Amino acid sequence: MPYPLMIFPSPSQCGSWLLAFAALFLCSCSSIEPLVAKSTVPKGWWHGDGVSGKARIVIDLSQQQIRYFKGGQLVGASPISSGRESHSTPPGTYHIVEKDADHRSSLYGAYCDSDRQIVVADVDVNKDERPPGTQFIGASMPFFMRINGGVGMHEGYLPGYPASHGCIRLPAEMAEIFYHATPQGTAVEIVGNASEAITHTSPPVLTPPAPAPAKHLVAAHSTGNASSPVLIPTRKSVNGWFLAREAQKKKAQPVFGATQYLQE
């Protein structure tokens, strides 16, 4: 009777499997080290360099998306991952109160040994007792911009749905761009309800608006024996039309539900 064939993984395969297994634990606001599972959601876009005007940020929890404005003009957009159900991101109007490019969490992270090897992952210091001989290392939150209490925007893993401890995770490239473009004190409006985004597997990202034409000619028309002059609207009038159109779109947006706040 033939024996069944036994197949054992090679050392390299074992390493790949271990990395994949470890990625399952990267569900805190960020990871202890920069190595995280690769996100498959869109990375967003930025057209804000050289654009003047006051910055304003809108974070839409329902769409899992951030929209960046300068002088009322949309200049960037990106997918996000906001707080999961038990740690919801609080809607409201806020301002950027602190910026720290190399920030680490004081609440979430891991208990590690003297060689900084993880002993207990996904730790909440308010709930999880520290094992003897270990030290707490906060989760890395690169390009952190604090909004309210412990909540802020920072680089992090985006699985395609709300998954953080309340912060707003951004793709690495967009987190760095927004960090350098945003002055402290910038207004941040958080709208929507993350429960409406749970089933989104790939959050939509706005398509960059087409640049306004340098000239917009309107054909002359006859009035008796003479023709009216050709109309060439200025750049200001073209931008005014664009902003009016965007304002009309906003009026059609639904009213969002009740507000939920984080417990610090």
C-alpha of 154 from chain center: 8
Quick one: 185 and 216 in the same domain? no
Asked, for residue 199, whether it belongs to a domain, the answer is: yes
The mean-pLDDT minimum among 39-53, 60-74, 141-155, 162-176 falls in: 39-53
Domain containing residue 54: 27-98+148-209
What span, in angstroms and rounded, lies between the C-alpha atoms of 165 and 204? 22
The answer for residues whose C-beta is within 8 angstroms of residue 168's C-beta and 6 or more apart is 59, 66, 80, 81, 82, 89, 147, 151, 152, 153, 154
Quick one: 158 and 246 in the same domain? no
Share of the chain above pLDDT 90, in %: 50
Q: How many domains does the chain have?
A: 2
- Banded model confidence at residue 41, pLDDT cuts 50, 70, 90: low
What span, in angstroms and rounded, lies between the C-alpha atoms of 236 and 53? 14
Query: For residue range 105-140, what is the model confidence (pLDDT) as tens digits?
Result: 888 889 999 999 999 998 989 999 999 999 999 989
Asked, for residue 121, whether it belongs to a domain, the answer is: no
- From 30, 88, 89, select the one nearest 59 (Cα to Cα): 89
Quick one: 158 and 218 in the same domain? no
Quick one: 218 and 204 in the same domain? no
**Per-residue model confidence (pLDDT) at position 168:** 97
- Banded model confidence at residue 104, pLDDT cuts 50, 70, 90: very high
* Cβ atoms of 165 and 69 closer than 8 Å: no
Quick one: 201 and 74 in the same domain? yes
